[in-house]
């Protein structure tokens, strides 16, 4: 009697392991690919995010590209839980590299309520060396369809990397409420690890 159950048990264990692996890896992530504007790119992101905006900048100057994904863009775009943002723009006489851009960015946010840099480190994105900053701030600038741009008091964690490629400055960030710090970190690592620059 025991021998009859042994093959069934092995088959059951095999099915459970297959379902567990495929269920996590296939449906929990989506791939975003952009082949327009000044930058062609691809990355994978958690499926709970939705594309909120793709801005290819001035169509004549072709100076920038912005991609925004929010966790709840259709319910209330102003008060989302988390955001992924890719921002790329051409270098010019004002900002010639990503280090200058990062220092200018830090200086502009350093006046924000509760601003504090928690980490600064080197990171590799698509084979390119960049610099990552992780910072906290006690308020968040949002755009609301009824009230326009305004600040709300909410603790935010931001993970952002800056790097140079093809005479362009690239910024990749994932941000969200302080209570989501571990999730934000995991999402950021996944985006960075799967990020590709397409030729």
The per-residue pLDDT for range 6-26, each reduced to its tens digit, is 554 444 443 333 333 222 334
Q: How many CA atoms lie within 13 A of 3 on its CB side?
A: 0
Distance (Å, whole) CA 170 – CA 70: 19
Let me know if residue 13 belongs to a domain: no
- For residue 199, what pLDDT band results from cuts at 50, 70 and 90? confident
CATH of the domain at 63: 3.40.1000.10
Provide the number of structural domains found in the chain.
1
Look-up: residue for tokens 């990355």?
Answer: 43
Let me know if residue 22 belongs to a domain: no
- pTM for this one? 0.78
The radius of gyration computed from the CA coordinates of the chain, to the nearest angstrom, equals 21
Domain region containing 176: 29-197
Let me know if residue 89 belongs to a domain: yes
Structure tokens, 186: 């995991």
pLDDT score at 140: 63
Between vectors from CA 189 to CA 186 and to CA 195, what angle results, nearest 5°? 135
């Amino acid at each position: 009697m025991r021998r009859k159950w042994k093959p069934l048990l092995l088959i059951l264990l095999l099915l459970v392991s297959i379902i567990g692996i495929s269920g996590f890896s296939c449906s929990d992530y989506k791939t975003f690919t952009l082949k327009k504007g000044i930058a062609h790119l691809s990355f994978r992101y958690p499926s709970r995010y939705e594309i909120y905006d793709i801005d290819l900048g001035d169509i004549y100057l072709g100076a920038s590209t912005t991609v925004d994904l929010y966790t709840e863009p259709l319910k209330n775009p102003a008060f989302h839980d988390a955001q992924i943002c890719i921002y790329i723009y051409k270098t010019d006489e004002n900002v010639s590299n990503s280090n200058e851009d990062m220092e200018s960015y830090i200086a502009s946010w350093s006046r924000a309520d509760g601003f504090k840099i928690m980490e600064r480190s080197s990171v590799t994105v698509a084979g390119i060396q960049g610099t990552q900053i992780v910072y906290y701030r006690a308020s968040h600038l949002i755009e609301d369809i009824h009230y326009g741009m305004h600040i709300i008091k909410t603790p935010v964690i931001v993970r952002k990397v800056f790097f140079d490629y093809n005479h362009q400055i690239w910024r990749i960030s994932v941000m969200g409420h302080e209570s989501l710090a571990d999730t934000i970190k995991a999402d950021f690592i996944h985006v960075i690890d799967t990020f590709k620059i397409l030729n």
